[in-house]
Amino acid sequence: MLRKIGVVGAGTMGRGIAQVAATYGHDVILYDASDSVTNQARDFLLRILNRLAEKGRMTDIQAKEIFGRIRFSSSLSAYADCDIVIEAIVEKLDIKQAVFSKLEEVVRHDCILASNTSSLSIASLAGGCAIPSRVLGIHFFNPAPLMKLVEVIPAIQTEDEVTRESMKLVRSWDKTVVKVKDTPGFIVNRVARPFYGEALRILEEGIADVATIDWAMVEIGGFRMGPFTLMDYIGNDVNYAVTESVFQAFYHDPRYKPAFTQKRLVEAGWLGRKTGHGYYDYSEDAQKLLPEKNEEKGNAIVRRIVTMLVNEAADAVFWNIATPEDIDLAMTRGVNYPKGLLAWADDLGIEKCVHEMDRLYHTYREDRYRCSPLLRQMAQTGRIFYK
């Protein structure tokens, strides 16, 4: 039984994971190399728990008990008797490896070491450890207390029991857990790339502007946010970095090629909401961008982006990244898609999806638009993903 939880990194993700673990009765140690970040996390957690009590989501006593279960530490030595330590720091492999190396000098030999990385190789992290068999990925989505999905990623070195115990722990926190193969981007950050990338491609071609593409994906496609609104919300620096990471990790596969448009916004410091300007201007006197509400154009935009998403999801099944059920769960629970992409493929018709991919390929003659072999095989044999 994993009882005592360590969290490395007191930023947005780290403090969110600490809140989740403490809410479900665990003693938690939260550490950050920066005292100011630790203090900010302490103030934030106290404030958010008090606010939840004020709203009636919990009692004052429960809020105090949850906060009381979180111990803030300025030293990694505090993790000496932890059962599992979850790292949630900057997305840089060398920095994470250095932290894991320091942790191994402190923790027990049976303590599980987990990384909240969204796209880095778990095998690389484990490979730098003295006991690689206890290392795996446990990827939460932001905000961790609210988002239901957690991707659990065993490396090739990870012991099965470590994976089982970790999945059992996260499920006990009322999370939806999907087991994922250790490949770039895992499920969500891989399968979701066309939502951003193809929207940017449509913009760069001059087919439609930012507001029109967002309107189409929300009003016709049923997504909660359009791709440009979402990129501004995530931060263009963060979104671009993930795209570039996946692109490089897949040996520069053109399907994941970053867009110059987003690169230029990052270079200009137009990162989205957090800087007041991104694809949209968030200043008080900004003129609102109005979409061209042309249904024919809107339907074409949705068909193109959704088909690219379906193709990516099908390819993830083809390469045994995860099961169709886990992929659809990941996309609906992890990024709030209106429907599982493979269920969506069944509804659209597998043959129509293949036809749309072939149409795009014949138009552009780019490998970016190659149809997944699985979709083509299914169209030829009349199979669907779900009965």
- Domain boundary pick from 150, 179, 208: 179
Count structural domains, the chain.
2
pLDDT-based confidence at 67, cuts 50/70/90?
Answer: very high
Beta strands 27-31 and 84-87: pairing type? unpaired
Catalytic residue IDs: 118, 139, 151, 189
Q: What is the pLDDT of residue 142?
A: 87
Reply yes or no on whether the pLDDT at 153 is more than 90.
yes
Same domain, 365 and 251: yes
pLDDT band, residue 119 (cuts 50/70/90): confident
Q: What is the CATH number of the domain that holds 55?
A: 3.40.50.720
pLDDT tens-digit series, residues 327-386: 999 999 989 999 999 999 999 999 999 999 999 999 999 999 999 999 999 999 999 999
**Which ranges constitute the DSSP H helices of 86-159?**
93-104, 122-127
Q: Which amino acid is at 333?
A: R
Share of the chain above pLDDT 70, in %: 100
CA geometry: angle 97, 98, 104, nearest 5 deg: 90
Same domain? 158 vs 280: no
Question: Both 175 and 196 in a single domain?
Answer: no
Run of H or E residues at 264: helix 260-268
Whether pLDDT at 156 is above 90:
yes
The widest CA-to-CA distance across the chain, in whole angstroms, is 64
Residue 23 lies in a domain: yes
In sequence order, what are the residues at sequence separation of 6 or more whose Cβ sits closer than 8 angstroms to the Cβ of residue 95?
Answer: 89
Looking at residue 45, what is its pLDDT?
97
Q: Does residue 386 lie in a domain region?
A: no
pLDDT band at 40 (very low <50, low <70, confident <90, very high): very high
Same domain, 150 and 229: no
Alpha-helical segments (H) within 112-235: 122-127, 160-171, 188-191, 193-204, 210-215, 227-234
Q: What is the spatial distance between Cα 179 and Cα 182, in angstroms, rounded to a whole number?
A: 10
On whether both 123 and 228 belong to a single domain, the answer is no
**Same-domain check for residues 231 and 318:** yes
Reading the block at residue 271, the tokens are 């990162």
pTM: 0.90
Mean pLDDT of the chain: 96
Instruction: Taking each helix axis as running N to C, give the angle between helix 35-54 and helix 60-68, from 0 to 180 degrees, rounded to the nearest 10.
Output: 160
DSSP letter (8 states) at residue 286: P
The count of C-alpha atoms lying within 13 angstroms of the C-alpha of 105, restricted to the half-sphere facing its C-beta, is: 8
Strand order in the sheet with 84-87: 70-73, 27-31, 4-8, 84-87, 112-115, 135-140, 149-154, 176-179
Measure the N-to-C terminal CA separation of the chain; round to a whole number of Å: 38
> pLDDT per residue over 182-239, tens digit each?
999 999 999 999 999 999 999 999 999 999 999 999 999 999 999 999 999 999 998 9
Backbone phi, psi, residue 178, to 5°? -120, 135
Instruction: State residue 63's pLDDT score.
Output: 97
Residue that terminates a domain, selected from 179, 205, 224:
179
Same domain, 173 and 243: no
Residue 172, in any domain of the structure = yes
Sign of CA dihedral 20, 21, 26, 27: negative
Domain annotation covers residue 185: no
Note the pLDDT of residue 387. 82
Query: Do 301 and 162 fall into the same domain?
Result: no
One domain, residues 157 and 202? no
Query: Is 250 among the domain residues?
Result: yes
pLDDT value of position 8 = 98
Q: Are 155 and 196 part of one and the same domain? A: no
Residue 18 lies in a domain: yes
For residue 145, tell me if it sits in a domain.
yes
- Asked if 279 and 335 sit in the same domain, the reply is yes
Whether 82 is covered by a domain: the verdict is: yes
The whole domain housing 91 covers 4-179
What pLDDT score was predicted for residue 6? 98
* 292 and 158 housed in the same domain: no
Mean pLDDT of all residues in 44-51: 97
Of the candidates 159, 179, 199, which is a domain's last residue? 179
Smallest CA-to-CA distance from 103 within 72, 83, 126, 76 is with 76
Q: Is the pLDDT of residue 1 over 90?
A: no
Return the CATH number at 319. 1.10.1040.50
Show Cβ contacts of residue 8 under 8 Å, excluding neighbours closer than 6 positions: 14, 31, 32, 76, 85, 86, 87, 88, 89, 99, 103
Residue 294: pLDDT band with limits 50, 70, 90? very high
